[in-house]
Amino acid sequence: MATSHRILLTGANGYTAQHILWELLEAGHSVRATARSQSKIDLIKKSFSKYANTPKLDFGVVPDITVPKAFDEVLKSTPPFDTVVHTASPFFLTSTDPTVYLEPAIKGTTEILENIVRVAPTVKRVVILSSFAAVATLHENPISDPPKVYKRDDWLATTLEEAKLATNPVVSYPASKKLAEEAAWNFVKEGKGNFELVTLVPGVILGPVFDPKQIEDPETLNFSTWQIYNMLLKPGVKSSDPVPPTSIWQYVDVRDLARAHLLAVTKPEAAGKRWITVGGEMSHQEWANYLREALPEKSDVIPIGEPANIAKPEGWFTYSAPETVDVLGLTYRTRAETIKDLAPQLAEFAAKAAAAPAAA
């Protein structure tokens, strides 16, 4: 019989974290889910009503993940925790202030590791959600001859000093992910914690929202989902509008990434390694193509673009991570599944947005 783990999941109200929470609970594990406020906890309780009143799921509020001893109280548990899954970190690209990205990502990570050592020495594995942005240099010329192939041993070159001076979020956000993950690995290398570390390094995270009823305003969507909505389906978009060029091709379905977290918790082979979790490569044009197939009633809204123009430019960087499938055992959904499963939710969000002015 599989071992049941006692797990602390941070940032549990997040887009990816809600899918992770479902995977963990469905696999029979006991989880304490944290968020920054009681109102966010209340939303999780509604979405997870199957488990909310059972011993398998309890909750904790951590208002600010960067302050000293932020996680001390939520790390106290009977039975004690043996695993921590840390997902809490901001993801938006709207601020030119680098501290908005750097402080929560880096301090939030180092704080929870220090808190684990002090309060929860029973924790034997820590799983951290990082980003492909911590591996690849996304803000420089993506084309080379031969094309750059990123692997899990690669790291973004941006330093903390450079990141602090950056006013472009395309520089400072990736740096925050790299520096936070690097801080975690350094923590372990310096012998500060008696736990195994696992990091997951996903591409752009796409796919359905766990509970669309939580979304009252599409502007509150997670960034990648909002980007698809804003580009291809929001009120005012027309089929004759252009499809913007693709800047990041590597993606993963949020449900596959959630499954990867479950494997990272339970697989002995996962320990001590980074795992690139990229399901494939997909262009913005493919987003539009799949949405148009899934939502024929929106044919006058979703941009047509150039449906056949889905090839990545020659020389554009790519990735290689066969070990995620061969060793970790992760399998990936198709591109079509990822977008088509999200499509009806996007249509619903667009309908809400269109109706909002009349209701005001």
CATH number of the domain enclosing 338? 3.40.50.720
- Say what the pLDDT of residue 180 is: 93
Number of domain units in the chain: 1
Residue 89 belongs to a domain: yes
Predicted confidence pLDDT, tens digits, the chain (360 residues) = 478 999 999 999 999 999 999 999 999 999 999 999 999 999 999 999 999 989 999 999 999 988 999 999 999 999 999 999 999 875 545 566 767 778 778 888 999 999 999 999 999 999 999 999 999 988 889 999 999 999 999 999 988 888 888 777 777 888 889 999 999 999 999 999 999 999 999 999 999 999 999 999 999 999 999 999 999 999 999 999 999 999 999 999 999 999 999 999 999 999 999 999 999 999 999 999 999 999 999 999 999 999 999 999 999 999 999 999 999 999 999 999 999 999 999 999 999 998 876 544
| Residues 6+ positions from 233 with CB-CB distance below 8 Å | 291, 295, 298, 301, 302, 346, 347, 349, 350
Single-letter amino acid code for the residue at 30: S
Cα–Cα dist 67/62, whole Å: 10
pTM to 2 decimals? 0.95
Kindly report the backbone phi and psi dihedral angles of residue 144, in degrees, each rounded to the nearest multiple of 5, phi listed first: -150, 170
**Nearest Cα residue to 129 out of 261, 265, 266, 248:** 261
Cα–Cα dist 32/261, whole Å: 15
Environment class of residue 94 by beta-carbon count within 10 Å: exposed (0-12), middle (13-18) or buried (19+)? exposed
H helices present in the chain, as ranges: 15-26, 38-47, 49-52, 99-102, 108-119, 160-165, 169-189, 223-232, 254-266, 284-294, 322-326, 335-359
Residue 322 belongs to a domain: yes
Residue 301 belongs to a domain: no
**Nearest Cα residue to 257 out of 294, 208, 223, 188:** 208
**Nearest Cα residue to 68 out of 122, 111, 9:** 111
Residue 294 belongs to a domain: no
- Say what the pLDDT of residue 360 is: 41
Instruction: Give the sign of the dihedral formed by CA 350, CA 257, CA 284, CA 167.
Output: positive
Residue 293 belongs to a domain: no
Residue 308 belongs to a domain: no
- Say what the pLDDT of residue 357 is: 63
117 is written with which tokens?
A: 């050592």
Residue 146's domain spans which residues? 6-284+314-354
- Say what the pLDDT of residue 96 is: 64
Residue 205 belongs to a domain: yes
Residue 222 belongs to a domain: yes
| Residues 6+ positions from 324 with CB-CB distance below 8 Å | 260, 275, 276, 277, 330
Cβ(36)–Cβ(48) under 8 Å? no
Angle between helices 284-294 and 335-359 (to 10 degrees): 70
- Say what the pLDDT of residue 94 is: 58
- Say what the pLDDT of residue 90 is: 57
